[in-house]
């Protein structure tokens, strides 16, 4: 069997400081198959287009007007002809073993595969984030409760599978990944979601999500749920869910920061 070809799809806006690292991490995979990188510059106001265009092995598509993440990914998807497509954000980067870990899990042509993430704050280092399940029962449980079963910035799936549902729905500015996965499930009843056990993508953030962003994201998740359940009203529980998520995130971060201080203190005294 031939080694499958893969395209990394990167939507970028005002990402001049990170797009080189993102694209080069995709091109530097320890993988024997053909690896292609498609960067869609979403009408950036900085030097993103210039930096991306200077990289060998990168196909750059320029939006004359801003289309958003989903619209940009859909434009890039039109240009992709490889066997698989790997999603990556412009401010994240993939570790060299990402494709080695995920391609074997997707060879049946009926799987959407993600990886564990390295959660990283530029100022204070690595901290704990959500861990994604690596068994079918748990990923199905997440999707059934309208939670994404794989980490979208690490998602890999057959290109034709993504194209079969028309790519992303541009009406959702947030939670477009959840909507996509639900439509994939509805269209392909035998589809499986799974995650590798290794950390293969560095999810680097400039800062932790603000309370306003978390609430905004949960509102749009509730809109996705409304669409897929045929409900006429948005559940008020999105506000409670958002509040809980914000608190959990802050507690994890505070715990990790305290642990790092203890380790540094022990090293100093040693």
Q: What is the pLDDT along the chain (270 residues), one digit of tens a residue?
A: 589 999 999 999 999 999 999 999 999 999 999 999 999 999 999 999 999 999 999 999 999 999 999 999 999 999 999 999 999 999 999 999 999 999 999 999 999 999 999 988 777 678 777 899 999 999 999 999 999 999 999 999 999 999 999 999 999 999 999 999 999 999 999 999 999 999 999 998 765 555 566 677 778 888 898 899 886 545 555 454 545 554 555 566 566 656 555 543 444 444
- Is residue 200 located within the same domain as residue 231? no
14: nearest Cα among 54, 55, 38, 50: 50
pTM of the model: 0.85
Does 126 fall in a domain?
A: no
Does 1 fall in a domain?
A: no
168, 183, 205 - which closes a domain: 205
Question: How many domains is the chain partitioned into structurally?
Answer: 2
- Structural domain that includes position 56: 6-119+132-205
- Which residues on neighbouring strands pair with residue 112, listed in sequence order? 193
- Is residue 198 located within the same domain as residue 68? yes
Give, in order, the Cα–Cα distances in Å from 15 to each of 20, 85, 138, 224, 236: 9, 21, 35, 28, 35
């Amino acid at each position: 069997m031939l080694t499958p070809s893969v395209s990394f799809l990167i939507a970028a806006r005002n990402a001049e400081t990170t797009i080189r690292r993102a694209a080069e991490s995709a091109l530097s995979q320890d993988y024997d198959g053909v690896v292609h990188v498609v960067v869609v510059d979403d009408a950036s106001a900085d030097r993103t287009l210039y930096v991306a265009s200077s990289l060998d092995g990168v196909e750059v598509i320029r939006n004359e007007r801003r289309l958003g993440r989903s619209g940009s990914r859909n434009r890039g998807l039109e240009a992709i002809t490889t066997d698989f497509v790997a999603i990556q954000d412009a401010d994240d980067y993939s570790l060299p073993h990402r494709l080695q870990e995920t391609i074997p899990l997707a060879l049946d042509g009926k799987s959407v595969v993600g990886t564990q993430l390295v959660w990283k704050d530029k100022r204070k280092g690595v901290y704990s984030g959500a861990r994604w399940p690596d068994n079918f029962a748990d990923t199905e449980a997440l999707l059934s409760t309208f939670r994404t079963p794989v980490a979208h910035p690490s998602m890999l799936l057959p290109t034709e599978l993504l194209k079969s549902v028309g790519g992303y729905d541009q009406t959702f500015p947030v939670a477009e990944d959840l909507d996509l996965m639900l439509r994939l499930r509805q269209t392909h009843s035998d589809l499986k979601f799974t995650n590798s056990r290794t950390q293969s993508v560095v999810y680097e953030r400039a800062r932790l999500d603000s309370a306003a962003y978390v609430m905004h994201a949960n509102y749009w998740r509730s809109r996705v749920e409304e669409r897929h359940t045929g409900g006429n009203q948005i559940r008020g529980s999105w506000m409670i869910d958002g509040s809980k998520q914000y608190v959990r995130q802050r507690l994890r971060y505070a715990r990790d920061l305290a642990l790092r201080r203890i380790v540094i203190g022990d090293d100093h005294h040693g």
